Amino acid sequence: WQSHQPQAGPLSASGLVKHWTAVFEKRGIPEARESSEYIVAHVLGAKTFQSLRPVLWTQPLTAQQLQGIQELCNLRLQRMPVQYILGEWDFQGLTLKMAPPVFIPRPETEELIEWILEEVAQRPQAVGAQGSPLILEVGCGSGAIALSLLSQLPESQVIAVDKKEAAISLTRENAQRLRLQGRIQTILLDVTIEDSWTHLLPWGPMDLIVSNPPYVFHKDMEQLAPEIRSYEDAVALDGGEKGMDIISHILTLAPQLLKASGSIFLEVDPRHPELVSSWLQSRPDLCLGLVAVRKDFCGRPRFLHVQRFVP
Ligand code: GLN
């Protein structure tokens, strides 16, 4: 009896995945199998290994493909995140260009988007975002949050700010690729600089402020994975002593930029709900209240809804 299934030789896509998975495992590279599958699929022009036509799994690869795989796997051996190696990553169904050192969108941030969309759909008045909401995003990075909201809220407009030129140009490029550039305004701006927010006033009062700010406690920075520490811009992560540096700036400027019952949605560290709540109690002048906390898919408090109230 002879099988008609061709055997996957060492120079086939399957063989290469097997080989590189073993190499990565031996060298202690996290997500060894996923990494090698993504790289092999990418060189063969597919997004995932599973989406490759099965005939391509067993067929011998060309010398050029083998060399491409070798080069990209060498980057992974140097702990480069797979998102930078591939040069693109999906977020909320959008394919976004990724480029070091601009922050890579994390899966939990998709839950922030889902929460905002839920609130805007179910309680637009309570959230302060009826009709065509005007949204400010602080720290837009690759544009993941801004562009997902724009694509799922067809009437919305976004003002996206970031203090890094690399982030602003990547957001612009992603907006263009997704043909969303008509509803987004990108501004190079550092909210921690005194009065910088006044540049945002002409854009009018916002319905929503959204941010996945740098919120890692400074002392935790050195515990981050090598993928993060060596490749991602630390300014997108380091939130200062208690991770509150940028969060407190956002909350401080919010009352001047938000409409009367506008909302702020933030991604934070699990220790932040308490810290933000007591910080807000120390600043009653801001007229902001923490109205809801949501957990992420790991069950950790991760998202905050802060609302402006008129006294
Ligand atoms: N959760 C992020 C991480 O993976 C931190 C994100 C942030 O500071 N905004 O490190």
31 and 92 co-located in one domain: no
Check if the beta carbon of residue 37 is closer than 8 Å to that of residue 15. Answer: no
Q: What are 242's two structure tokens? A: 């208690």
- Is 90 exceeded by the pLDDT of residue 6? no
Does residue 3 sit within a domain? Answer: no
Residue 150 lies in a domain: yes
The Å distance, Cα 6 to ligand 1 centre, comes to 45
Percent of the chain with pLDDT over 90: 88
At residue 251, the pLDDT reads: 98
Chain centroid, CA 29 distance in Å: 22
**3-state secondary structure labels for all residues of 94-147:** EEEECCCCCCCCCHHHHHHHHHHHHHHHHCHHHHCCCCCCEEEEECCCCCHHHH
Same domain, 58 and 106: no
Q: Give domain status of residue 37, yes or no.
A: yes
Q: At 164, which CATH number?
A: 3.40.50.150
pLDDT of residue 237: 98
Distance in Å, CA 31 to ligand 1 centroid: 19
Shared domain for 147 and 274, answered yes or no, is yes
Q: Does residue 1 carry a pLDDT above 60?
A: no
pLDDT at 5: 57
Q: Which ligand 1 atom sits closest to the C-alpha of 243?
A: 8
In a domain, 7, yes or no: no
Say whether both 143 and 40 belong to one domain. Answer: no
- Domain span at residue 20 reads 13-78
Residue of 145, 210, 219, 237 to test ligand 1 pocket, by largest number of atoms within 8 Å of CB: 237
Q: What is the Å distance from ligand 1's center to 142 Cα?
A: 14
Q: Is residue 107 located within the same domain as residue 63?
A: no
- Locate the ligand 1 atom nearest the alpha carbon of residue 216 and give its number: 8
Looking at the fold, whether 259 and 204 belong to one and the same domain comes out as yes
The band of 54, judged by pLDDT with boundaries at 50, 70 and 90, is confident
Mean pLDDT, all residues of the chain: 95
Query: What's the domain count of the chain?
Result: 2
Domain end marker among 25, 48, 78:
78
3-state SS, the chain, equals CCCCCCCCCCCEHHHHHHHHHHHHHHCCCCCHHHHHHHHHHHHCCCCCCCCCCCHHHHCECCHHHHHHHHHHHHHHHCCCCHHHHHCEEEECCEEEECCCCCCCCCHHHHHHHHHHHHHHHHCHHHHCCCCCCEEEEECCCCCHHHHHHHHHCCCCEEEEEECCHHHHHHHHHHHHHCCCHHHEEEEECCCCCCCHHHHHHHHCCEEEEEECCCCECHHHHHHCCHHHHHHCCHHHCECCCCCCHHHHHHHHHHHHHEEEEEEEEEECCCCHHHHHHHHHHCCHHHCEEEEEEEECCCCCEEEEEEEECCC
Residues 67 and 171 in one domain: no
The token duo for 114 is 């889902």
Residue 92 in any domain: the answer is: yes
101 and 224 fall within a common domain:
yes
Q: Are residue 155 and residue 225 in the same domain, yes or no?
A: yes
Report pLDDT digits (tens) over 88-116.
999 999 999 999 999 999 999 999 999 99
Amino acid of residue 132: S
Quickly state the pLDDT bin for 198 (edges 50, 70, 90).
very high
pLDDT tens figures, 223-236: 999 999 999 999 99
Ligand 1 binding site (Cβ under 6 Å of any ligand atom): 106, 212-216, 224, 228, 237
Residues 133 and 281 in one domain: yes
- Domain boundary pick from 78, 102, 133: 78
Given a cut of 60, is residue 19 above it in pLDDT? yes
With respect to residue 4, please indicate whether it lies within any of the assigned structural domains: no
For residues 237-260, give the mean pLDDT: 97
Is 119 within the bounds of a domain?
A: yes
Residues 128 and 163 in one domain: yes
Q: What is the largest CA-CA distance in the chain?
A: 83
Q: Are residues 166 and 287 in the same domain?
A: yes
